[in-house]
Structure 1
Amino acid sequence: MPDQNLPAFIGTGWAFPPDFLMGSHTVRMSDGVEDIEQSLRILLSTLPGERAMRPDYGCDLTPLLFEPLTTTLRTVTEDRVKTSIYLHEPRIEPLRVAVSMADANAGMLLISVDYRIRSNNTRHNYVFDFYQSEGTET
């Protein structure tokens, strides 16, 4: 159901991950802040070059996977995230991007994005979990 308080500029799109509704034979849609946050999740987890029609789309965090968890890593990550948002998500303005080392032993970074929706000036926060080392112990 569309959020009546948000203008059409924010838009409506397929929910992510795609979910099909059995009874109505339709795709579940997302709108408003939910749509923006799903878009941010897709942007931050997409590598440039993965999309055939938009080869520049994405946020290239993979070169940072094997870097030590330092202040330099935090600064570079913040810059890449903010630049990607400016280039690919025109509905919002990133106000602050902060990277915290939630669990250094697990290689997990929390990327927090404070943003303003341009069309209605409301502020929100989104947190993206970035794992430096994915996998399981064997």
Structure 2
Amino acid sequence: MERDSILGTGWSFPVSFDTLNHRTVMASGLEDVKQSIFIILNTTPGERVMEPEFGCDLKQLVFENINESLKTKLDHIVYHALLNYEPRVKFIGTEIIGKSEPDGILHIKIEFSLIITNTRHNLVFPFYFTEGTNI
């Protein structure tokens, strides 16, 4: 695996092991950044004992209607989470891809740029919008 020293290298998420070489699988560069964003968005503040403020409180939006108000709330929540916990990126915006699907997943496209290389990227985050229902 090629290491990208500019953006860093860390354990892959989810954590996995290379049994052939007896090592932890690592993620570098853009993949490390995307995994970090995924961890931030999936962590609810208060889950981590040593960092109780870490995370993004997306779960408060689970039963919201899909409208412009939801988009504004998504932008605000994701912007502040990335501003506070992912210094390698500059948040550009969010976009809701499609409407509520039968499987209850709302796909959120998160656009960002890498600060050090000034390149734009996006990440599609599956948000379980109607989690816990019979849909």
* TM-score, scaled to structure 1: 0.87
Q: 1:70 to 1:107 in 2, by over 3 A?
A: farther
Please state how far the C-alpha of 1:106 moved relative to its aligned partner: 4.1
Does 2:73 correspond to 1:56?
no
Unaligned runs of 5+ in 1: none
Q: How big is each residue's C-alpha offset from its partner over 1:83-138, in whole Å with a ceiling of 9 and x where there is no partner?
A: 11111100010122223443355443221111111111111111101011225749
The number of equivalent residue pairs is 135
Does 2:127 correspond to 1:130?
yes
Contact 1:101 1:108 in 2 (8 A): no
1:1-138 aligned at under 5 Å gives the runs: 1-3=1-3, 6=4, 8-135=5-132, 137=134
Q: Identity of paired residues, percent?
A: 39
Q: Which runs of 4+ in 1 moved over 3 A?
A: 104-107, 135-138
RMSD: 2.0
* TM-score, scaled to structure 2: 0.89
